[in-house]
Structure 1
Amino acid sequence: MNTKYLFLDIDGTLVGFDGVMPSSASEALKKAHENGHKLVICTGRQLSQVYPWLLKEIPFDGLILSGGAMVINDGKVAAHHFISQSSLKKLTDYFENSNTAYYLQTQSFLVSKKWCVDRTLSLFNKLGYTKEDLLTLFGETVIDDNAGGRSDVEKLIYYDSGVDFSELQKNIGDEFYIVGYSFGNLGNTSGEIAARGVNKASGIKEYLDCCGGDINDAFAFGDAENDVEMFKSVNTGIAMGNACDELKHLASYITADITDDGLYKAFAHFGLI
């Protein structure tokens, strides 16, 4: 088999929402790499949020981060996209006026305001997560009262919005890429926003362009709404058994749940291992 490019989401695909990767997934990744296939993380997480142990344990060839905003090939930055300051100010004003908590993703840390942090902590507490859990899962948050004036923001995440998703799409969708939040079960009141045209599919294209790969050799593995564009861009999309219905409808193949050796079974099914 010729070299395949395996684009892999993290949360719900490689790693459970408890922060643990099944041993079978680790075994599958290592075997596939030994067989000459390229392993590329494709996640909504920023660089600093990717688990250090994951990068140490698995020989990834590339990283697509913040939902396509940052692309790394062989340790070098191949592309990096930011939300413009004028657009960011528009976004933060919009959410503050609607009393909606938000975080800003940069390469190295999250940025927010204290009232947003307090509200989000309360929301995650109801889902069973502690403050310490969130620090482990998402990393450091810097409090910045002028958050909307930054120039290093890759993506905005909003939580528990009183604004309906369709209304949000209607109001600001022409200028931004908006998708439902990919971590946990927060319904349609939380989401992720990037500059228009920036998503996992655009990140895959930029990665393949820089390394000379063929989109026909690309496989995408995912479970959430922010994986939809990624699935549409490749010939072979593999949905985890725990994936959302929309992704399953697009999938070439539906494997078992992440906790039921889903990744290993998918790799074996396609002869990658």
Structure 2
Amino acid sequence: MSKKYFFFDIDGTLTNKQTGELVPSAKKTIQKLQQNGHFVCIATGRAYYKTKDFAKMAGIHHIVSNGGAALTINDELIENRPLDHERAVALCLEAQQKGYGMLIAYNDSIDVLMKDELFIQQVGYRQEPTRYILDRSLKYDQIEQIYKIYIAISCEDEDKLDLKDSLGHIRFMDEYLTYQHDAKDEGIYKMLKRVGGQIEDVVVFGDDYNDLVMFKKEWTNIAMGNACDALKSQATFVTKASSEDGIEYACQHFGWI
């Protein structure tokens, strides 16, 4: 059997969507894949700091994180790109001018900058652990690096931002829009080049709309049974739900374990 290069999404793929816990059979499957000589990697939109502990728990040593902009090889972070600075600043200025509250992640941590309390007033506090740093003299163009931008804008109003599509964005919450890298496919290509893998040997697993970007015709795409219909329609194979041992089932189906 040729060596395969596996890239797993986390939420709803490696984890039970309801509990957020790593599925035990998924962890066992990862171990078996590695024992069989395959390359195993996470591919997630999560920031690196939110991914590394999960990867360690899962026994995975390679990571594509930050939506494809961060690469970790053999547990060592080798790249973590911020957003395009000029476009990020322009977006912040427009959002401010139109009265939408913002939080700005300026490094790879739970810290966010805010010029005022508008974001919190408009949508409340984020559900994820966040440390809010208020700086009323904040100038966006003087922030050295911008990794993510959270804009308090509803689905109905988001098209009011002229620069809405100038950067990658994902809506995880109804109340606000998250600007971050949305190029997990580019991260996979970069990782392959680093480790010497072949495109036709790639296998990706995913479950949600933000995984569509990494479902490519040139490799094997596996949608979880709990995946959105749009992803299932692009899949090479639809396995069982993550909570029903879907990763193990697919890998047994193809003879990888």
TM-score using structure 2 length:
0.83
Give me the whole-angstrom Cα distance separating, in 2, the residues matched to 1:101 and 1:255: 41
1:69 aligned partner? 69
User: How far apart are residue 225 of structure 1 and its match?
Assistant: 1.5
TM-superposition CA deviations, 1:223-261 (whole Å, max 9, x none): 112111111265111111121221111111111112111
Aligned to 1:177: 168
The percentage of counterpart residues that share the same residue type is 28
| One-letter code aligned to 1:240 | M
Higher deviation after alignment, 10-19 or 204-213: 10-19
Q: Do 1:70 and 1:79's aligned partners in 2 also have CA atoms closer than 8 Å?
A: yes
Q: Give secondary structure in 1 for the equivalent of 2:168.
A: strand
Q: In structure 2, do the counterparts of structure 1 residues 19 and 213 end up closer, same or farther at CA, with 3 Å as the change threshold? A: same
8 Å CA contact 1:33, 1:59 repeated in 2: no
1:153 to 100, 122, 146: 146
Amino acid at match of 1:229: V
Structure 1 residues 35 and 44, CA gap change in structure 2 (3 angstroms): same
Q: How does 1:46-125 map to 2 (within 5 A)?
A: 46-50=47-51, 52=53, 54-105=54-105, 106-113=107-114, 114-117=117-120, 119-121=122-124
Summarize the alignment of residues 1-273 of structure 1 with structure 2, pairs less than 5 Å apart: 1-17=1-17, 18-50=19-51, 52=53, 54-105=54-105, 106-113=107-114, 114-117=117-120, 119-121=122-124, 134-135=128-129, 140-145=130-135, 146=138, 148=140, 149-158=142-151, 160-164=153-157, 171-173=163-165, 175-178=166-169, 180-181=170-171, 183=172, 186=173, 190-194=176-180, 199-232=183-216, 234-273=218-257
Counterparts of 2:68 and 2:211, CA distance in 1: 11
Query: Could you say if the C-alpha distance between residues 91 and 28 of structure 1 is closer, same or farther in structure 2, counting changes exceeding 3 Å?
Result: same
Asked if 1 retains the 8 angstrom alpha-carbon contact of 2:207 and 2:228, the reply is yes
Instruction: Answer whether contact 1:101 1:161 (CA < 8 A) is retained.
Output: no
Preserved CA contact (<8 Å) 2:42 2:63: yes
Quick check: 1:7–1:41 contact (8 Å CA) kept in 2? yes
More deviation, 253-262/91-100: 91-100
Structure 2 gaps of 5+ residues are none
Q: Structure 1 stretches (4+) deviating beyond 6 angstroms?
A: none
Which residue identity lines up with residue 264 of structure 1 in the other structure? E
Instruction: Please give the per-residue CA displacement for 1:158-189, whole angstroms capped at 9, x wherever unaligned.
Output: 45525556665x7442x3233x33x5xx46x7
**Could you tell me how far apart the structure 2 residues matched to 1:118 and 1:157 are?**
14
Higher Cα Rg: structure 1 or 2? 2
Does the 8 A contact of 1:223 with 1:239 survive in 2?
A: yes
User: How far apart, in 2, do the equivalents of 1:68 and 1:85 lie?
Assistant: 17
Given the two structures, how large is their TM-score scaled by the length of structure 1?
0.79
In structure 1, C-alpha distance between the alignment counterparts of 2:39 and 2:16, rounded to whole Å: 22
Higher mean C-alpha displacement, 261-270 vs 111-120: 111-120
Aligned length: 250
Residue 45 of structure 1 deviates from its aligned partner by 0.6
Partner Cα distance (2:122, 2:208) in 1: 24
Any conservation in 2 of the 1:98–1:162 contact (CA below 8 Å)?
A: no
What is the one-letter code of the residue matched to 1:176? L
